[in-house]
Amino acid sequence: METIHTKVLIIGSGPAGYTAALYASRANLQPIVYEGDQPGGQLTQTTEIENFPGYPDGVRGPEMMEHFRMQALRFGAEIKSRKITKVDFSKRPFRCEDEKGDVVEAETVIISTGASARYLGLPDEEKFKGLGVSGCATCDGFFYKGRHVAVVGGGDTACEEALYLSTLAKKVYLIVRRGVLRASDVMQRRVRETPNIEILFHCNTVGLYGDELLEGAHIVSHKGDPEEDMFDIEIEGFFLAIGHTPNTEIFKDWIERDEEGYIKVKGATTHTNIEGVFAAGDCADPRYRQAISAAGTGCRAAIDAERFLQLSE
């Protein structure tokens, strides 16, 4: 077992973690980044990104994350392709243990572990992930301009995504498991008044189909009832809007979180309830969950950590 010491430990990668590493490195803080189970975060599963500034012709998600990573390395960040499995924030330096049993003692910690979109659990979701299946309409909706798509969910998020997609797609199916929408009254009204949105109540998706790309979905209505019926819809995009799960369980004994598990930060800063521990990116953002906003909070977290260290000396 090895024990190493650092001024800044960054747990997680993606736009927030790599940006924090870049800023911390340029401040000569020599940060250590633990990339986690998915180096580069959710964007490594995204085919084309066209809404990140600086890429006028678009860029593939894995390529952009590699650019982020290389830039952090260029300024001296140390990056480990491992995950932190245990933390102790009871005192400084904070003590964190990785999956190989090595220990990192850190003066400050930046948490950037992200959030994972919830999926239905269908095998076909994995097959078509990035090839028609998406957990973010804002990220990927543009690629389905003039096409038929579906959104799964019945809450505000699902309605918002359906309305957004209705401005791009020719047809939007809103697949709702129950017989009612759970969204606010105003959102329900907007969805019902949008002519190219069709709500499929009492419906569950039981499979997806297509050769290389998604071509459609198998739907069952009134599952388990006498009027149960099976039918297919032809779609090229399938958007999950049944929520996200922040990857924050490891911190639950130390860090204040909201009822959904998102880390609470203080005001416009990235400070958590533990002095010297900061949060950036989707793990602390239940609202936006965009690469550009995650990168911005990564910058802020590094600056907050730098100032905290200056005041602690």
* H or E, element range at 51: none
Q: Is the pLDDT of residue 86 over 70?
A: yes
Cis amide leading into 39 (omega within 30):
no
pLDDT of residue 137: 86
Average pLDDT over the chain, rounded to whole? Answer: 94
State residue 204's pLDDT score.
96
Please identify every residue annotated as catalytic: 136, 139-140
Query: pLDDT by residue (tens digit) across 159-170?
Result: 989 999 999 999
Report the pLDDT value the prediction gives residue 61, as an integer from 0 to 100. 86
Query: 281-307: per-residue pLDDT in tens?
Result: 999 998 888 899 999 999 999 999 999
Strand partners, 98: 84
Is pLDDT of 258 > 80?
Answer: yes
217: exposed, middle or buried (Cβ count in 10 Å: 0-12, 13-18, 19+): buried
Is the pLDDT confidence value at 89 over 90? Answer: yes
**Global pTM?**
0.78
SS3 category, 164: helix
**Residue with more model confidence, 133 or 313:** 133
Judge residue 250's burial from the number of C-beta atoms within 10 Å of its C-beta, 0-12 exposed, 13-18 middle, 19 or more buried.
Answer: middle
Residue with tokens 């533990």: 274
